[in-house]
Chains A and B, each alone.
Chain A
């Protein structure tokens, strides 16, 4: 998995990553919540609605290597 770029480091930074080789945009709120969409308008609306709909927190990354016996990332 390509490491996600983060060039701004303020307290209220919204990010949208365009997933390589797909039409999918991944939105990441400063609170950690994530949401995917193929429509940037819809995705900005979701991000800017913070905290509405952002309760679930970040999803557990899928497919990342996890050492045997290691706990799930929190």
Chain B
């Protein structure tokens, strides 16, 4: 498998999941407990009491402090222990690591790696998820497969014809040129599929009011390791965005995935669908939520099977890559490079 990429921001949860109770979530094999302080700040601490490793997530909050459910060690939001049962002296090492966290675009992002390197400017954006000009449906599915299998899956949309037949496949796909781009400095992989003249699927005709043929774009923008965006744009045939990037003639569906490794063999598969038309329409929301969740679950089922296959095979199995894998190969290479970049620091820290 591709090694974990450390010193990166990862989506740990939706902001709505983190409240005044204790949420346990393992990220890159690090068990973490999340909660909100009384003033609403998100806290992330290592989910193991420093004393006998009892999970702090199985404990309770006392104001903004966690009181360990085993012996009562009490921790501040900073991770510092402020109370040890039965004695006045608090050992100097009585502290659990705290993780840098940022709430942005409806997600809680956590920094996994050296906290001194946690630059919030590095967090990739998905602004539609917190934009009142969009209506959003979202979810998260547990995946019993390594994260790079999900990256492979999402980077190649051609599998939709086979795995998701009847849901998101379209007949024009086969006659659409595909361009794959890699910005080496900014570490972005972009795969464009621009259909100039396509039939309008009935769902879009109903929900946007477009009649006749359409221009349909599907553009993948992957910010490794965690954030994957699928910009889906439809417009009456021939209507293109303006030169300045504004696009009043287009209808947009922004599909967002956050690919967060849980362990070496499991992944948190966050998905969200934001749209800038039929705002607030419950029927449209239901359709998008149900169809996207169905597609996600079809992928989960297939990748869970694939994980078992990959685990059972010997190291160094030789795969075959063909043209549809152009974007996936680019993603794999950049992930490998990023994972290797973190290794010297890890080795030095040992």
Which A positions have Cβ atoms within 8 angstroms of B? 2, 4-8, 10-21, 23, 25, 38-41, 43-44, 48
Contact = CB atoms under 8 A, between A and B. Distances in A.
8 contacts: A4-B179, A5-B177, A6-B179, A7-B219, A15-B181, A17-B177, A19-B177, A20-B175
A44 B190 contact: no
A12 B185 contact: yes
A49 to B, nearest CB: 13
B194 interface: yes
Interface stretch (B15-23, B67-75, B317-325): B317-325
Given A7-B219, A40-B323, A20 B182 contact: no
Given A2-B177, A17-B179, A18-B178, A7 B192 contact: yes
Q: What is the predominant secondary structure among interface residues of chain B facing chain A? A: mixed
Contacts of A5: 177, 179, 192, 194
Contact of B181 (A8, A11, A38): A8
Interface string B176-217: 111111111110101010100000000000000000000000
Q: What is the predominant secondary structure among interface residues of chain A facing chain B? A: loop
A14 B184 contact: yes
Nearest to B178: A18
B190 A7 contact: yes
A63 B322 CA distance: 28
The 10 closest A-B pairs by CB, nearest first: A5-B179, A10-B183, A12-B184, A40-B326, A20-B177, A18-B178, A16-B180, A8-B181, A14-B182, A5-B192
Contact of B329 (A4, A8, A13, A41): A41
A53 B5 CA distance: 31
Interface residues of B, number: 25
Interface centre among B192, B326, B329 (most CB of A within 10 A): B326
Contact of A25 (B181, B323, B333): B323
A7 to B, nearest CB: 5
B71 to A, nearest CB: 54
A46 to B, nearest CB: 13
Contact of A8 (B175, B177, B188): B188
A22 B37 CA distance: 59
A12 B177 CA distance: 22
Interface in B279-312: none
A15 B280 CA distance: 39
Given A5-B192, A5-B194, A18 B326 contact: yes
B180 A10 contact: no
A44 B188 contact: no
B2 to A, nearest CB: 16
Contacts of B50: none
A23 B182 CA distance: 21
A58 to B, nearest CB: 16
Contact of B182 (A2, A13, A18, A40): A13
B181 A7 contact: yes
B326 A16 contact: yes
A13 B177 contact: no
Interface centre among A16, A20, A21, A44 (most CB of B within 10 A): A16
A7 B333 CA distance: 20
Given A17-B177, A21-B175, 10 more contacts: A5-B177, A5-B179, A6-B179, A8-B188, A14-B184, A16-B179, A16-B326, A17-B178, A18-B177, A20-B175
A21 B323 CA distance: 13
B254 to A, nearest CB: 15
Given A7-B219, A41-B329, A12 B183 contact: yes
Contacts of B326: 16, 18, 25, 40, 43-44
B321 A41 contact: yes
A23 to B, nearest CB: 6
Given A18-B178, A40-B323, A40-B325, A8 B183 contact: yes
